[in-house]
């Protein structure tokens, strides 16, 4: 059986964003594993217009070609780690807009989270958990939160992730949990598909 595929989705698009650094750091840690394949999914590669469809993709198929590419990428994944900044106690508008184009593509798949900024992006992560529930995802418990001290150290003081080893400990625990749920939910989706075809 093929290894599950997990996306590390960078949820901001600003030119000066920080998200590339934790995404690459997490990918490097994840690639030490042998039980799943990981890839970065960058919202910059999917410049979707503001969602203005006549109705939810639950009722009206997505027609924007870039959005179609995005939802097809999500459909190809078995799980997602969201890398999110905190903008005004919530996720970035680009990420919310992108997820408004999604319906079945993420259903019954796990979501894990890495937040950064004020209070480690915790409020944005909690906001994102609610969005994931509405998308029929399974948000996992363990997350990584890069609080202000390491965040400022990384962006201002020349520090590296090696200076904050507890972040790697948290990331490994998050990945352990995420891969377990990824395998479990993939098996469940496959069983349901067989039953539906019978």
Look up the CATH number of the domain holding residue 87: 3.40.50.360
**pLDDT > 70: what percent of the chain?**
100
Strands 144-146 and 5-10: unpaired
Which H helix or E strand runs over 183? helix 165-197
Averaged over 61-83, what is the pLDDT?
97
Averaged over 80-98, what is the pLDDT?
97
Per the structure, the count of domains in the chain is 1
Question: Could you read off the pLDDT of 127-137 as tens digits, one per residue?
Answer: 999 999 999 99
* Rg (alpha carbons) of the chain, rounded to whole number: 17
Query: Whose CA is closest to 10, among 92, 87, 90, 69?
Result: 92
Residue 181 CA to residue 3 CA, distance in Å, equals: 13
Question: Could you read off the pLDDT of 124-178 as tens digits, one per residue?
Answer: 999 999 999 999 999 999 999 999 999 999 999 999 999 999 999 999 999 999 9
Backbone phi and psi for residue 5, each to the nearest 5 degrees, phi listed first: -110, 125
pTM recorded for the entire structure: 0.96
| pLDDT value of position 35 | 96
In this prediction, residue 69 has a pLDDT band, given cuts at 50, 70 and 90, of: very high
Question: What domain range is 31 assigned to?
Answer: 5-197
Residues shown for the chain: 198
Beta bridge partners of 138: 110
């Amino acid at each position: 059986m093929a290894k599950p595929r997990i996306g590390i989705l960078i949820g901001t698009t600003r030119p000066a964003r920080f998200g590339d650094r934790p995404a690459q750091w997490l990918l490097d840690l994840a690639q030490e594993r042998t039980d799943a394949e990981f890839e970065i999914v960058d919202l910059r590669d999917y410049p979707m217009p503001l969602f203005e469809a006549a109705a939810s993709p639950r009722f009206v198929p997505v027609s924007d070609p870039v959005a179609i590419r995005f939802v097809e990428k999500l459909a190809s994944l078995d799980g997602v780690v969201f890398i999110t900044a905190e903008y005004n106690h919530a996720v970035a508008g680009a990420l919310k807009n992108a997820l408004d184009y999604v319906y079945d593509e993420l259903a019954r798949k796990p979501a894990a989270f890495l937040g950064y900024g004020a209070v480690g992006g915790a409020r944005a992560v909690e906001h994102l958990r609610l969005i994931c529930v509405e998308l029929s995802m399974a948000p996992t418990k363990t997350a990584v939160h890069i609080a202000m001290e390491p965040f400022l150290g990384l962006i201002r003081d020349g520090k590296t992730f090696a200076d904050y080893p507890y972040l790697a400990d948290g990331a490994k625990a998050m990945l352990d949990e995420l891969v377990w749920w990824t395998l479990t939910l993939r098996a469940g989706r496959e069983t349901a598909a067989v039953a539906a075809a019978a």
